[in-house]
Chains A and B, each alone.
Chain A
């Protein structure tokens, strides 16, 4: 299994190279550049700036230079924040986004998983319908509605929780509650639907019939036999989804005024901060590849059918 995991990581290298090339081509396909959109600068200065950042070179050469820097762990200087490197900007924002993303996913797995199991055991009864209706509403409520509503209700009206900001004076969990909740609502919805469907299927399987026939107590049948099989679809969903939420959410970070990389990324893409965009895309694709691998490993651990003997 270790060999396989290593091989997968090796295959990831050409994938990441392809992503870099695709991103470069996309970014340079659009007219203009980081220095054309802002206030009028004399053409000479613009040329100098482009020269300084290597933007006057042919694209192929720029890509080679970028990859060369990357090999040394250098993501290049930011083109908009003149005194910062891309690495510094990401180091500032990434922890916030990562904490929010992991928090939201953990909450989604616990709450969504729990609701899904309960619904599966009450299939086609009132509780099941209630959970599934909630799940659909959860998918349909956009964060830009839920966010402001929660903020107004719990933050401004009831004063239960701070309505925005993070690490303002000290690190405190209560600053995280609302953003994590908002971020995890759609995840909870998806997880509960997946969990319900796969739990129902697992309970019908022959493995469970055998376990029951052996006379195992019901809770043991569920925890030891049904749950591992039922978790499989969730595992494959959670990997890429975790990469998605960890790489930042523009809406959440804007509504709750949090310093994450989601907002930085959107601003950078709009302002053509090529290196910063590239940096965040790289982190995202790295996380996707890593978590997909993690998903597959978990899959093997959980699924008795793919377990090597």
Chain B
């Protein structure tokens, strides 16, 4: 649906994105993660034509419509919810009554039909973001580009927005590109993750693979805190076993106990693709049936 080929972007002498290749498929939720200034928002803006790539190609399937969800909601404060949403239809051929029907439809989808006449000042952060989502939906978009869409929200509200986006992904087949530094949200929400560092795409894989077997140093740095790696990164005596199902986790735990292996810590995670767990163990050279990786050798 979206193919980025050898895309680079420079601002003056500063290289923001370097020779980046990425495919985004229809209906999937792709997370773009990286440190601040890594180039992920710029990449999103290139996809949406808010910025032009200095070189390379952005190949987009014909007639694809993009919606953009901003971190700061970006509502016009002097307009009502209705008029904010109608902004997306200014140049459409719909009649006023058709526009009104569509506004009610999208407000139903985001659960805000009772707030149609409210001004943004009267809404909470989560409600404002719902209006932002409704404003994108009314234009019948195919791809929703979310730039830190939940970063300005408290964890509870952020989850509500994520659930809403997840429902819209299922119900409308929306493709979602989700830039965020909230790794727990990315883990629970995205099908695939692309990790960007200094404008370079370091890793792109399914969420479970990125989280269970991070390959690049930047992945370990970024995900370390979530995965529990961080505490052991400099300890060569620590080994790691990763299990990919509930039964495997149970069997592994039993085996570790039977072999009197010291378990330093365990971390269990649920992703969209399933459950996995890390066992951090000390002083075990081998345990039958399980691959032990040394963390500093990841």
A binds B: no
